[in-house]
Structure 1
Amino acid sequence: MLWMLLLGAMFIHGYSWTNHWAASQAHTYSLHGRWDEAIPFWAWTIWPYLALNLLYPLTFFLCPTRSALRRHALAIALVQAACMLAFVCWPTGNVRVLPQPEGASGLLFAQLRAFEAPFNMAPSLHAAVLVVVWQAWRQSLQANAAAVRWLWHGTCGLILISTLTTWQHDLLDVLAGLLVGGLALWITRCMPTSRGPDG
């Protein structure tokens, strides 16, 4: 619970501050390419996009040992710190005119945009955190049936696609985020394993 609260506070305050920082800059950068123009806007994918906000805190209760929990918490801290450092050093903004859909999906978009302005694009923190969350749940579901495990992989795939189809990120933003998440897992995997009874 403590790790979840500390890292949740790091995300909320750090992301909000860097978002305002980017908004205050006279010029922001973008990795938007011509290929991004072919990606459609699907309003309904805001639901899987925001689902990560529910899965993220639950992962802290999946770790079977203290050692595993420390590794997971460090991976989350690494991706958040790395992405936020990039947001400050290289502020990025969304160059597209974002639609405002109607209905329930429109309400979710309105709530999302009340928290964050269209900045902090690259690397995609959403994609980076998703990599770590995917790994935590994947390990927890190892003993389950193959259908359950593939359902989890499909869910994460849909969340990843939603970062593009909600126009929250461009393709290169997402690829950069996946790289950050993968590096965080590699770094924490290289940590020495505790030999105590908990891990």
Structure 2
Amino acid sequence: MTERQLKIRQQAFALSVCTIVFMIVYNLCTWHATSLENLPSFTFDFERSIPFIPLSIIPYMASGVFFCLVFFSCKGGHQLKILTWRMLFVTVVAGLFFITFPLQFSLTKPEVSNTILNLPFSFLQTFDSPFNQSPSLHITFAFIFWSVFKDLTKWRTFLLIWLILLGFSTLTTYQHHVIDILTGAILAHISFIIIPYRKKDPKHRNCHLANYYFLSGWIFIAAGLLFHQYFGTEGLLFLFPALFTMIIGYLYQKNVSVVFPFVLTVKQNIRQSGEN
């Protein structure tokens, strides 16, 4: 068996394990939710203004393709191992939330007149369910997919745009609520922190730090919207620290030195004092 054949075999095995675990967890949670009565749902007031866009079903359904593709996009055994553990981790954790805090989608989905576009919606109606909402695994998986796709040299920009469209499609296909998106993003970044990639490599130190800032940013966004929902517009003040932490996270991710002027001044004064 050649090295390439062995690599493909390992990738196929990892894909199979994650697929089996996902199917077991997802269907078990769906069965549990269907056995309950009067399942709650959570929506923000502004979600009534989100349009239903049938065409967005195309990027939404691409998640299944990416689920398979990402395992064969790993460049080495270590990256494949990290990807596999992250996928298993978020699947199991999401399943625990689906069972502990079951939610269902509450908006009425309009009829799709286009015959071709109606096919994937019919597929969702048959094989998917309005349960297993928060956190959205579509969103969580999208972040994890990008952690692998960003290292590719070809199709990188295309995949990024498609993943962004996938994220928006969870709302415009009326499959998820905003709270599902936020918790999905939070879960993804928790997995990045708990299961880091090349933790001991100094070149990736800033990326590890960036995940803490991104996680804080998503938590601030969720807090801001929740406070706005229940206590008024003052809650939107949380969006300022959210933006601040997101920017810092982005700078760390791009290996841009994140040093405030007053910190630099203090270091210079300490150095000068030592020389004197």
Task: Select the residue among 130, 134, 142 that pairs with 2:142.
Answer: 130
Q: How many residues align?
A: 189
Residues 94, 119 of structure 1: 8 Å contact kept: yes
Task: Select the residue among 33, 37, 43 that pairs with 1:22.
Answer: 33
1:113 aligns with 2:125: yes
Residue in structure 1 matched with residue 85 of structure 2 by the alignment: 74
TM-score by length of 1: 0.89
Residues 86, 123 of structure 1: 8 Å contact kept: yes
Task: Select the residue among 159, 172, 179 that pairs with 1:172.
Answer: 179
Residue in structure 1 matched with residue 64 of structure 2 by the alignment: 53
RMSD over equivalenced CA pairs, Å: 1.7
Task: Select the residue among 160, 166, 169 that pairs with 1:162.
Answer: 169
1:10 aligns with 2:21: yes
Q: Within 1, Cα distance between the matches of 2:187 and 2:126?
A: 26
Q: Within 1, Cα distance between the matches of 2:199 and 2:144?
A: 19
The letter of the residue matching 1:117 is: S
Structure with the larger RCO, 1 or 2 (CA within 8 Å, 6+ apart): 1
Q: Render the CA deviation track for 1:39-79: whole Å, top value 9, x for unaligned.
A: 10001111100101001111111112211111000010111
Q: Render the CA deviation track for 1:12-37: whole Å, top value 9, x for unaligned.
A: 22212211211221132222111111
Residue in structure 2 matched with residue 92 of structure 1 by the alignment: 103
The gaps in structure 2 that reach 5 residues or longer are 1-11, 202-276
Residues 82, 197 of structure 2: 8 Å contact kept: no
Tell me which moved more, 150-159 or 182-191.
182-191
Residues 16, 116 of structure 1: 8 Å contact kept: no
After the TM superposition, which parts of structure 1 deviate over 4 Å for at least 4 consecutive aligned residues?
190-194
Measure how far apart 1:99 and its partner are.
2.3
TM-score by length of 2: 0.65
Cα distance, 1:71–1:87 mapped onto 2, change above 3 Å: same
Residue in structure 2 matched with residue 189 of structure 1 by the alignment: 196
1:41 aligns with 2:52: yes
Identity of counterpart residues, as a percentage? 25
Residue in structure 2 matched with residue 197 of structure 1 by the alignment: none
Larger Rg: 2
Measure how far apart 1:190 and its partner are.
6.4
